[in-house]
């Protein structure tokens, strides 16, 4: 059994109020794999250029990288961004697609056999091409972003209709459905086909919405947040990775995703998660259980 993730493998240049990195390993597939590999075998799919030097870090904790396509003469996807003083706003200063410009994913037989698939944030046509190759997947989750809602909405809705779980920021859910109310927005996305919606709410946590259930979990409270880059993908990695091993255990999966994301933001890029231990994850999952427990005394 394994989890296949398709998405960006990147270098990021990031500045936050707490420092900067000129060039650090990043990308949605990278953050997802580093988190999900705590729970199950992960197979990463995505292109890199000649300049990519971090395959070992990507392969940490057993992630299979045989479907990471190294494009001769190409450059690895590069993102340059800067965060505002409270880390809630960020500005993209530069995006160089590089090898992503012509990315046409061809999955190995093993990656196509994965029972669980995560379509990280890439062009929705490409997401669908991958989804169609993975005919045996019993659970498919996906991310997206405002750009695709704006320029490729029809394709995005088609992709959404073919997955089980949509993981989006609450602002993206509102934008996609043009409904300011989160519950209404989630209900509309459920009507497109998926059975589970996860609304990421940044520092406020995340909500899980199904046809019959609403579950909300706060973010793990931190005094020091250094770099939010990759938090959403780390959350998705913990959430989907846990579900791969524990099908249907959505609430606990939310706690694992939340715990992993909380470590991710404590340092730049992948720096904290690469040396994270299972014990540390368990510690925060237990803490989350304590800080949300509502013992009704009536």
DSSP H helices in 75-213: 109-112, 124-133, 146-151, 153-161, 170-177, 182-191
Kindly state the smallest distance separating residue 45's Cβ from a second copy, in Å.
30
Q: Which residues lie below 8 Å from residue 103, measured CB to CB, with a gap of 6+?
A: 46, 47, 122, 126
The yes or no reply on residue 207 touching a second copy (CB under 8 A) is: yes
The yes or no reply on residue 293 touching a second copy (CB under 8 A) is: yes
Which of 5, 285 has the CB closer to a second copy?
Answer: 285
User: What would the x/- binding string for a second copy be over residues 212 to 241, using CB under 8 A?
Assistant: -xxxxxx--xxxxx----------------
Contact 112, 3 (CB under 8 A): no
Q: Which residues lie below 8 Å from residue 206, measured CB to CB, with a gap of 6+?
A: 198, 199, 200, 216, 217, 219, 235, 254, 257, 258
Q: End-to-end alpha-carbon separation of the chain, Å?
A: 45
Q: Which residues lie below 8 Å from residue 161, measured CB to CB, with a gap of 6+?
A: 192, 193
Tokens of 52: 């990519």
Kindly state the smallest distance separating residue 226's Cβ from a second copy, in Å.
11
Which of 22, 84 has the CB closer to a second copy?
Answer: 84
Which of 274, 291 has the CB closer to a second copy?
Answer: 291
What dihedral angle (degrees, nearest 10) is formed by the CA atoms of 143, 131, 256, 213?
Answer: 80
Strand, helix or coil for residue 112: helix
Tokens of 128: 């669908």
Tokens of 41: 């075998």
- The only residue of 249, 275, 277, 283 in contact with a second copy, by rule CB under 8 A: 249
Kindly state the smallest distance separating residue 213's Cβ from a second copy, in Å.
8
- The only residue of 95, 145, 187, 193 in contact with a second copy, by rule CB under 8 A: 187
Question: Which conformational region is residue 98 in: left (phi greater than 0), alpha (psi within -120 to 50 degrees), or beta?
Answer: left
Kindly state the smallest distance separating residue 259's Cβ from a second copy, in Å.
11
The yes or no reply on residue 246 touching a second copy (CB under 8 A) is: yes
Determine the interface stretch with a second copy among 21-29, 112-120, 152-160, 203-211 (rule: CB under 8 A). Answer: 203-211
User: What would the x/- binding string for a second copy be over residues 145 to 184, using CB under 8 A?
Assistant: -----------------------------x-----xxxxx
Question: Which conformational region is residue 271 in: left (phi greater than 0), alpha (psi within -120 to 50 degrees), or beta?
Answer: alpha
Kindly state the smallest distance separating residue 120's Cβ from a second copy, in Å.
25
Determine the interface stretch with a second copy among 21-29, 92-100, 129-137, 285-293 (rule: CB under 8 A). Answer: 285-293
Q: Which residue has the tokens 């960006």?
A: 8
Binding residues for a second copy (CB under 8 A)? 85-87, 174, 180-184, 187, 201, 203-205, 207, 213-218, 221-225, 246, 249, 251-252, 254-255, 282, 285-286, 288-289, 291-298
């Amino acid at each position: 059994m394994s989890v296949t993730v398709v998405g960006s493998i990147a270098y990021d240049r990031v500045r936050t109020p707490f420092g900067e990195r000129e060039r650090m390993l990043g990308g949605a597939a990278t953050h997802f794999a580093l988190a999900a590999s705590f729970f199950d075998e992960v197979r990463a799919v995505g292109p890199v250029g000649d300049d990519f030097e971090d395959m070992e870090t990507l392969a940490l904790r057993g992630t299979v990288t045989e479907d990471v396509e190294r494009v001769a003469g190409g450059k690895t996807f590069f993102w340059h961004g800067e965060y505002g003083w409270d880390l809630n706003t960020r500005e993209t200063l530069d995006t160089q697609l590089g090898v992503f410009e012509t990315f046409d994913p061809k999955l190995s037989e093993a990656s196509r056999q994965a029972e669980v698939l995560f379509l990280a944030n890439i062009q929705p046509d490409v997401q669908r091409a991958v989804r169609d190759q993975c005919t045996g997947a019993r659970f498919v989750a996906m991310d997206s972003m405002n750009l695709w809602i704006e320029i490729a909405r029809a394709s995005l809705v088609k992709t959404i209709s073919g997955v089980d779980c949509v993981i989006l920021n609450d602002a993206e859910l509102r934008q996609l459905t043009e409904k300011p109310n989160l519950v209404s927005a989630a209900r509309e996305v459920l009507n497109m086909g998926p059975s589970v919606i996860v609304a990421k709410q940044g520092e406020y946590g995340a909500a899980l919405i199904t046809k019959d259930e609403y579950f909300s979990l706060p973010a793990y409270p931190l005094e020091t947040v250094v770099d939010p880059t990759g938090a959403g993908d780390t959350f998705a990695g913990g959430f989907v990775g846990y579900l791969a091993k524990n099908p249907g255990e959505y609430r606990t999966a939310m706690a694992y995703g939340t715990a992993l994301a909380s470590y991710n933001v404590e340092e730049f890029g992948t720096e904290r998660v690469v040396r994270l231990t299972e014990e540390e994850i368990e510690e925060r999952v237990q803490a989350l259980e304590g800080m949300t427990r509502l013992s009704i005394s009536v």
